[in-house]
A and B are shown apart, each in its own frame.
Chain A
Amino acid sequence: MNTELNNKIESTLNSFNEMDRAEVQPFFQTRLMARLSKEYEINNNNWFTVKKPVWIIAALFVLLIANTIMLTQENKPANSINNKPESILQGFANEYNLSSTINY
């Protein structure tokens, strides 16, 4: 390698030596605060954003309990007379003073 090329390379490698620190454009802080408040506004308005996994687990647990209750209620034998369709319809007719008789 010749000396001239060597010097050129070394001088290029040292070209950062006297550099000053680059500074942000004026009002950087104002732009940052505007962006920060905008991002927080978006996050706060998002109803579907679940912040902690514990809430997801709790919601799933509640759904599981509700489903279990529904299923056990469905499987119970309907032996009470009040559960018969005729009596339900009759009760409905009585409540609204419907005079017509229900025929099947």
Chain B
Amino acid sequence: MLNDPAFIELLKQRNEQAFTQLVEAYQHLVYNTVLGIVQHNEEAEDISQEVFIQVYQSIYDFRGEAKLSTWIYRIAITKALDWERKKKSKKRIDTLKNMIGIRTQEEISITDFHHPGITLQNKESASVLFKALKQIPDNQRIAFVLIKTEGLSYQEVSDIMQTSIKSIEALMHRAKENLRKILQHYYSA
């Protein structure tokens, strides 16, 4: 129903009821995806809001070539990665400021991230895995997050990342290899 051209047309006409329905249907999908990437609850909510604002503004660009959910996943991933880049550059500036003696008001806290959907018995190991995920390349991390936290199939991830299933398989293989190396180093230390 959400991929129905009539529903898309209503969204393009800025129909509030249709937009409410869209948010209702995709809010958890967006939030969970963003949270898997940024690993911060409050910031994930902020970014999720930005995702829906972007959807509202860019719905005219949606041509229906992909599923609506695929298009929303792409916006969510782009927004989350943009946020990360901004945070990294801010961190670099803050480090520089600290080096030259200017105190920054906002310190970036390095804390363990606990995903709310993780079972209690996996809490500690999942936190270690989230930390390791931050150290692998973006495309490997995105593939891993979508498959493992969103439970998507290789086909769905290949549609979202606009690449072949073979490439996704290769990305997952490399992601696991890299994670194994990082975890080995972590547990051996």
Knowing A19-B117, A21-B117, A36-B56, the reply to whether A12 touches B27 (Cβ < 8 A) is: no
Is B103's beta carbon under 8 Å from chain A?
A: no
Contact with B along A65-100 (1 / 0, CB 8 A): 000000000000000000000000000000000000
One of B46-54, B81-89, B94-102, B160-168 at the interface? B46-54
Q: How far is the CB of A51 from the nearest CB of chain B, in Å?
A: 12
Which of A9, A35, A36, A39 has most chain B Cβ within 10 Å?
A9
Contacting A at CB under 8 A, from B140-180, are 148-151, 176, 179-180
Is A41's beta carbon under 8 Å from chain B?
A: no
Query: Given A21-B149, A22-B116, list of 4 further CB < 8 A pairs?
Result: A12-B125, A19-B119, A23-B28, A23-B32
Out of B23, B44, B132, B188, name the residue touching A32 (CB < 8 Å).
Answer: B23
Q: How far is the CB of B43 from the nearest CB of chain A, in Å?
A: 13
> A18 and B119: CB pair below 8 A?
yes
Q: Give A8 to B180 CA distance when docked, in angstroms.
A: 10
Q: How far is the CB of B159 from the nearest CB of chain A, in Å?
A: 19
Chain B residues with a Cβ under 8 A of chain A: 20, 23-24, 27-29, 31-32, 35, 44-45, 48-49, 52-53, 56, 115-119, 122, 125-126, 128-129, 132, 148-151, 176, 179-180, 183-184, 187-188
Residues of A within 8 A of B116 (CB): 22-23
Is A13's beta carbon under 8 Å from chain B?
A: yes
Q: How far is the CB of A29 from the nearest CB of chain B, in Å?
A: 5
Out of B35, B53, B122, B126, name the residue touching A35 (CB < 8 Å).
Answer: B53
> A11 and B125: CB pair below 8 A?
yes
> B119 and A5: CB pair below 8 A?
no
Q: Give A16 to B179 CA distance when docked, in angstroms.
A: 13
Residues of A within 8 A of B20 (CB): 29, 33
- Identity of the chain B residue whose Cβ is nearest the Cβ of A36 in the assembled complex: B53
Q: Give A25 to B32 CA distance when docked, in angstroms.
A: 12
Could you give 5 example pairs across A and B, Cβ below 8 Å? A5-B184, A13-B183, A15-B125, A16-B118, A31-B45
> B27 and A29: CB pair below 8 A?
yes
Knowing A22-B115, A32-B49, A36-B56, the reply to whether A15 touches B126 (Cβ < 8 A) is: yes
> A24 and B117: CB pair below 8 A?
no
Out of B45, B119, B129, name the residue touching A24 (CB < 8 Å).
Answer: B45
Q: Give A11 to B187 CA distance when docked, in angstroms.
A: 12
